[in-house]
Amino acid sequence: MRTSDGIRLNVVTAGAGANVVVLSHGVTGTKEDLYGLATAFVRDGWRAIAYDARGVGDSSGSPDLGARDLDLRAVVEYARRSGARTLVLAGGSLGAALSIAMAQPLHADAVVSLSAPRTSYDAIAAAEAIGSSIPALVVASAGNQPFADDARALATALGVTPVIVSGSRHGTGVFVDHPELKARIVRFADEAVRTIA
């Protein structure tokens, strides 16, 4: 898949159907970090799309955090062209901040944040603009600072109660201590889809 500026992204799609979740990894991660969550979505009847950002993993180009919005936009455009009726953006760490920041511009139906930093991509301003207009699930580990405090601030802006779990793991690492969160995230997405359908 190519972005609007010609970068070749390595993308993995699993499952089928009109309900689609697009999964964005963190600054030091790759799409493989999200396979566990993707599997939970696919088992529930969703189509899951995970990708390596530019310059990461198997994608071309050089790492460019400032252009990751182009990467996410390309993947979402592909999802919509290939039949997505509803779209959930989910991410870990930097990918979570990007998901929040791009939720309105990409007309997402819901957003899931795992340990998003509120300053990256000005996620806090995006959350304030979204308010309660887009269903959101905000997750962080209590001992993972400053991200637990960031989760509380983002959740307040989004009009939701954050899910603060025990431990200190970051991003998709929360699933190591709390594997049950994957099912909770899928249930949240299911409910969001039912609400907007």
Chain segment 36-69, per-residue pLDDT in tens? 999 999 999 999 999 999 999 999 999 999 999 9
Please give the pLDDT value at position 194.
86
Amino acid type, 103: A
CA distance 75 to 31: 13
Residue range 7-34: mean pLDDT, rounded: 96
Please give the pLDDT value at position 87.
97
CA distance 60 to 43: 30
Residue range 88-94: mean pLDDT, rounded: 98
144 pLDDT above the threshold of 90: yes
The pLDDT tens digits for 181-192 are 999 999 999 999
* CB atoms inside a 10 Å sphere around CB 79: 19
Global model pTM greater than 0.75: yes
Please give the pLDDT value at position 161.
98
Please give the pLDDT value at position 195.
72
Please give the pLDDT value at position 155.
98
20 pLDDT above the threshold of 70: yes
- In order of their start, the domains of the chain are 11-196 (3.40.50.1820)
Please give the pLDDT value at position 197.
54
Please give the pLDDT value at position 157.
98
CA distance 37 to 196: 22
CA distances from 111 to 6, 40, 56, 101, 186 (A): 27, 16, 23, 10, 11
Please give the pLDDT value at position 196.
66
